[in-house]
Amino acid sequence: MVTSLQPADGKTSLVTNLAITLAQLGAGEVLAIDGDMRRPNLHEVLAVQQAPGLSTFLTGQAELADVITATSIPNLSVIPSGRIPLNPAELLASARLREAIEALGQRFAYIVFDTGPIFGVSDATILAGQVEGVVLVLRHGRASRDAAQRAIRNLASVRARLLGVILNDVDVRGNGYYGYYGYYGYEARKEQ
């Protein structure tokens, strides 16, 4: 599952690129799921209908097989968000989702969940406790150290397994970045 601190940090971009890359590895079928039922847009990026999707299934209005949609990319399927539900957090905490993740795990080599941000609503934290691992996206220049640490504590509170952090949108040509990493790294090597 991919989450971040705030909206527009790059979660959906990362999920899309990650899912496409995994599909292209040819290591089995890949499923991307839009777990951001409040501000969904994975369906737009992958050019499929928004509904039926996750909310349709979780509210009992469709079976799992009916919400898995093929994309134009070989080996990549998607479960779009479905129509925006009244109670996303409740749906994400349901046994129906836990059972679905179990069943989908038998069929797909990789499942990548897009979600909303950690702060504000509990959706992402609820999902984090149910998946194998969590990737936290931090948008460079926007995520503070303090907020990132709070997010990580939040994930730990539901025993989520943090796979790693992705620092998104770093300007590698900018002086700040070069000075911080590249320059000192270079100097350190030169002195050896």
Ligand X SMILES: Nc1ncnc2c1ncn2[C@@H]1O[C@H](COP(=O)(O)OP(=O)(O)O)[C@@H](O)[C@H]1O
Binding site for Mg ion (CB under 5 A): 11-12
Neighbours of 88 (CB within 10 A): 24
> Which residues are CB-contacts of 153 (< 8 A; sequence separation ≥ 6)?
none
34 binds ligand X (CB under 6 A): no
9 binds ligand X (CB under 6 A): yes
Query: Among residues 49 and 157, whose Cβ is nearest to Mg ion?
Result: 49
Chain Cα centroid distance, residue 103 = 19
CB of 115 to Mg ion, least distance (A): 8
Binding mask 163-182 for ligand X (x = CB under 6 A): -----xx-------------
> Residues for the chain: how many in total?
192
Alpha helices (runs of H) in the chain, residue ranges in sequence order: 11-25, 42-45, 54-58, 64-67, 88-92, 95-107, 123-128, 145-157, 175-177, 184-191
For ligand X, how many residues bind (rule: CB under 6 A)? 10
61 binds ligand X (CB under 6 A): no
Closest CA to 55 of 32, 33, 25, 28: 33
Using the rule CB under 6 A, give the single segment among 10-18, 65-73, 124-132, 146-154 that binds ligand X: 10-18
Using the rule CB under 6 A, give the single segment among 7-15, 58-66, 99-107, 143-151 that binds ligand X: 7-15
Using the rule CB under 6 A, give the single segment among 3-11, 79-87, 92-100, 105-113 that binds ligand X: 3-11
> Cα separation of 186 and 166, whole Å?
23
Contact residues toward ligand X (CB under 6 A) are 4, 7-13, 168-169
